[in-house]
Amino acid sequence: MTLTALLAILGGLVLAGVIAHGAWSARKAGPRRADPAIEPQMGEGRQEPSLGDAREAVASELDNTLPAAARLLPRKPSARIDALIDVIATLSLEAPVSGEMAAAQMPPSRRAGTKPFHIEGLNTESGEWELPLPGQRYGEFQAGVQLANRSGALNEIEYSEFVQKVQAFADGINASVDFPDMLEVVARARELDQFASAHDAQLAVLLRARDAAWTLGFVQQLALRHGFVPGAIPGRLVLSADEEGAPPILTLSFESQAALAEDPQASSLRELTLALDVPQTPESQEPFAAWQEAARGLARDIEADICDDRSQILNLHAFAAIDQELGTLYRALASRDLAAGSAVARRLFS
């Protein structure tokens, strides 16, 4: 081999090496690439998320967020359920439910025996406890049944009826429910009933005709001058409270048959009952003074004696003694957070 040929071969080898080194350097400096041998294995079995999957994820996340938001909202106290006089069961949800769904599952009766009960939802937007309303969503529910009223204490049978009705509602909205222990509930109901019985007061006097009887028209005419108006129940006139929707301060009742007479002037009455339901009216409105004043004013105008339930005529000293006892009663109710005229007192003494 000639020197010229040998040099040509060596030059070719050097040039090839330079080209290979340049290609290697360019590859190293460029972006890293996937290894073709590994790529098929890594991608095996994988699918791109669909639009439907994304929607389900968003909906699930929204439902999870709404209960959390409902728990964080400042909760406003319920206007219907109060731990002072109600036993409360809590209902927990995995996701909020609509007002329409909740309303459809409500029990047909809102009573357990002689005790009223309510089921309320916590509005996810307002944070208010309310009866389920269309177009609203609720993150949790609570149910409360009254422990006692003037019919007596909540008993085992009534509590069992409450549990059955609330459990059926909970099943209908896919909620879990936590009920307080029955023995503890019944014991608490009896204690509250004992307190209520010892501090209940319904004052009444009889206005008895001295001489001639009265017609219904005559009684209505004179009662109107003292602020009394016909009540919703036949045979009763009422002195309304200033507060809208509040119970009447006083009631003036008589025989219902006379109230149903076609001709008010043809009826004959000899006795009226003037009553004050003490727990129903705040002490600040001085209902006792109104009761005493109405008794004296009516007795004067219709010529009647003021008597107790034993037909004994009452004098000024009798009214003064009652007034002193009422002061003690008002303080006792207030010490139990059951002040006369409050919403809980009106419910308890009903």
Q: Which residues contact 329 (CB under 8 A, 6 or more apart)?
A: 199, 201, 278, 340
CB 326 within 8 A of CB 279: no
pLDDT for position 246: 94
Give pLDDT, residue 58. 47
Distances (CA, A) of 197 to 152, 179, 193, 317, 346: 9, 27, 6, 26, 14
For the four alpha carbons of 222, 228, 230 and 233, in that order, the dihedral sign comes to negative
- Global confidence as pTM: 0.75
Report pLDDT for 294. Answer: 97
Per-residue DSSP letter, 239: E
Residue 162, both tokens: 């409450």
Q: Give the Cα separation of 74 and 77 in Å (integer).
A: 10
- Other Cβ atoms less than 10 A from the Cβ of 155: the count is 16
Q: Say if residues 251 and 238 touch (Cβ distance below 8 Å).
A: yes
342, HSE (Cβ side, Cα atoms, 13 Å): 15
What's the pLDDT at 202? 96
- The pLDDT assigned to 22 comes to 54
Q: Other CB atoms closer than 10 Å to residue 198's CB: what's the count?
A: 9
- CA–CA gap between residue 321 and residue 166 (Å, rounded): 47
Query: Scanning the structure block, which residue is given the tokens 């996937």?
Result: 34
Query: According to the model, what pLDDT value does residue 77 have?
Result: 83
User: What residues of the chain score a pLDDT lower than 70?
Assistant: 1-75
Query: Which of 309, 299, 313 minimizes the C-alpha distance to 219?
Result: 299
